[in-house]
């Protein structure tokens, strides 16, 4: 699983590279499996989906609005998953949890870990998301 950090405050919709993913294709609608939706913060994408979207992500990777987490092994860059980070660097894993806003992803990670400090961080993040109260001072459009 690839771990991606989408640093902007909007949802990023990334088309997959496939024969059906052509502009003007009436069958290819947002919300189908032909697109990946990246929420602000950390997202997990399986390896086969990463292979399908990585070319479309290059501009965002280059401008650092999207970060793919990797580690060096010899002279190669290896994609790391959340479970890799949780094993190797629990403090970094907590930092990632605190910047993840997808409850279903947090629930998945909660079921995969037994570390108390990490489970606690996940519970706290889920609670913070569920109890978030908007101030109602969003963008106003003049009519």
Quote the DSSP letter at residue 65. S
pTM of the model: 0.79
Q: What is the pLDDT of residue 87?
A: 93
pLDDT of residue 34: 84
Instruction: Kindly tell me the burial class for residue 54, based on how many C-beta atoms sit within 10 Å of its own C-beta (0-12, 13-18, 19 or more).
Output: middle
Tokens of 22: 């052509």
DSSP state of 40: S
Residue 135: per-residue pLDDT: 67
Distance CA 128, CA 133 (A): 10
Q: How many whole angstroms separate alpha carbon 138 and alpha carbon 109? A: 31
Return the pLDDT at 31.
46
Provide the pLDDT for residue 133. Answer: 73
Residue 52, both tokens: 């399908």
Q: Which two tokens stand for residue 118?
A: 């990490």
pLDDT tens for residues 105-115?
999 999 999 99
* 17 and 55 Cβ atoms separated by less than 8 Å: yes
| pLDDT < 70 positions in the chain | 18-33, 134-143
């Amino acid at each position: 699983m690839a771990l991606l950090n989408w640093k902007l405050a909007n949802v990023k919709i990334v088309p997959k590279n496939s024969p059906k993913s052509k502009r003007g294709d009436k069958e290819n609608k947002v919300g189908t499996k032909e697109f990946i939706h990246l929420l602000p913060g950390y997202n997990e994408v399986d390896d086969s989906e990463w292979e399908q979207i990585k070319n479309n992500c290059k501009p965002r990777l280059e401008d650092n609005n999207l970060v793919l987490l990797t580690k060096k092994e010899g002279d190669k860059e290896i994609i790391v998953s959340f479970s890799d980070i949780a094993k190797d660097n629990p403090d970094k894993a907590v930092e990632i949890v605190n910047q993840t806003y997808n409850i279903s992803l947090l629930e998945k990670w909660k079921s995969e870990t037994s570390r108390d400090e990490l489970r606690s961080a996940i519970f706290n993040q889920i609670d913070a998301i569920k109890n978030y109260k908007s101030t109602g001072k969003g963008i106003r459009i003049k009519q």
